[in-house]
Amino acid sequence: MRVTRVLSAALLALGLAAGPAVADSSSPSPSASASSDGSAPTQAGTSFRTATEIEQGQSATASGSTGDYLYWSFPADVGRRPTVRASVKLPRTHGSQTWQLDVYDGLRRRQACQYGASTRTAAQDASQVELACVLRTVRGWAEPWADDPLPGTYYLRLTVVDLGASDLGLPVSAEVRVDSKDIGGAAAVDGSLGKPLVPGIAVKSEQGKDGSKTAVLSSFGSHDGWSSGWWSDRWVWTAIGGVLAALAGIGGYALTRGSGRPSRVPPGV
């Protein structure tokens, strides 16, 4: 009976502690929502400086020509695994073409795809080509020599890398979309950046409290709700582990200490 009570208490504590973690992981992230006005970009930049900003969970389109470099940028936060997809609609008549989707972090370091086909060849007269790249989970901190993905601005570059001379300059249309999965405390590290990596030459300026103008590198920022804080569900599971360890100790003590009285009284006592 005592062991049953101990196990029941352990299961109850596990359910109460796991509740907030499940609710937190199922709640949508601000970075994964579409724009409030429902509008989506219909053009792309031609360089890192002019990259068109898009939100996660939002599809963007652009028209161009084979041989053009198309650039977009998006924010990625700690503990999230971004997935980038691109679809290129090709002209009705064309030869074999190879398209490539590259992803760069805030320091303009090319990020390797964990999986997905970021380079594909479209056969002659194919109507479209589909590309995808699943990045590694964004970390909160990394060694200076490492190329781990860090929070901040990420850039997409879509272009054709191999085609016949007769196909150069043909009109194409592209659609890109960025989504991400919240990995949570499994990817947490003991460290964080002072600020997200939002590099580049200033593209606009804003007026400070003292009236002076300061350069702004991007409109992405913590006020947009995408930059996370210190909390992660790793704290919840650490607490669950502590509770289970304590209950296991209590249960073991209850099983081994006995009734506290000798089972048999010696004769003559």
Rounded average pLDDT per 10-residue block, the chain, 269 residues: 48 45 36 49 91 91 94 89 95 92 91 92 92 90 80 92 90 94 65 60 50 48 48 67 86 74 59
Closest CA to 50 of 76, 75, 74, 72: 72
Rounded CA separation 131/150 (Å)? 23
Q: How many whole angstroms from its chain centre is CA 210?
A: 36
255's tokens: 């099983």
In terms of pTM, does the model score above 0.75? Answer: no
Long-range residue pairs from 185-190, CB within 8 A, at least 24 positions apart, any chain: 185/79, 185/232, 185/233, 185/234, 185/235, 185/236, 185/237, 186/234, 187/78, 187/79, 187/137, 187/138, 187/139, 188/78, 188/79, 188/140, 188/232, 188/234, 189/139, 189/140, 189/141, 190/141
Q: What is the pLDDT of residue 242?
A: 84
> What letter does residue 49 receive in the DSSP assignment?
T
Rounded CA separation 170/92 (Å)? 10
Residue 20, helix vs strand vs coil: helix
What amino acid occupies position 110? R
Q: Where are the alpha helices (DSSP H) in 42-138?
A: none
Q: What is the pLDDT of residue 247?
A: 87
Q: 45, 70 in Cβ contact below 8 A? A: yes
